[in-house]
Amino acid sequence: MTGPKFCQSCAMPLTEEDQFGTNADGSKNEDYCIYCYKGGAFISAQATMEEMIEFCIPHTLKAGVYPDENTAREAMRAFFPKLKRWQKR
């Protein structure tokens, strides 16, 4: 059994099939969520990792993932470089 899946762009937990983004042919993409990836392309293709982190902070705070903005930012800055979209090639 594998661990929980996370969007490889925004780190959202992917727990339901309807959360998966879509490939160009309409099939599900299991690496990215519907908010990041649609039709085989990133929705915010020009976004930097730092911009994605800032975008995600309010959502994670609302969900109760982190106690405050600074904790969220530090945790995401440590985790996001491990996600497929943000790995240095």
pLDDT at 57: 97
Q: Indicate whether 52 and 67 sit together in one domain.
A: yes
One-letter-per-residue 3-state SS of 2-55? CCCEECCCCCCEECCHHHEEECCCCCEEEEEECCCEECCEECCCCCCHHHHHHH
pLDDT at 3: 65
Q: Indicate whether 37 and 52 sit together in one domain.
A: no
pLDDT at 43: 96
Is 88 part of a structural domain of the chain? no
Low-confidence ranges of the chain (pLDDT < 50): 1
Domain containing residue 64? 47-83
Q: Indicate whether 22 and 4 sit together in one domain.
A: yes
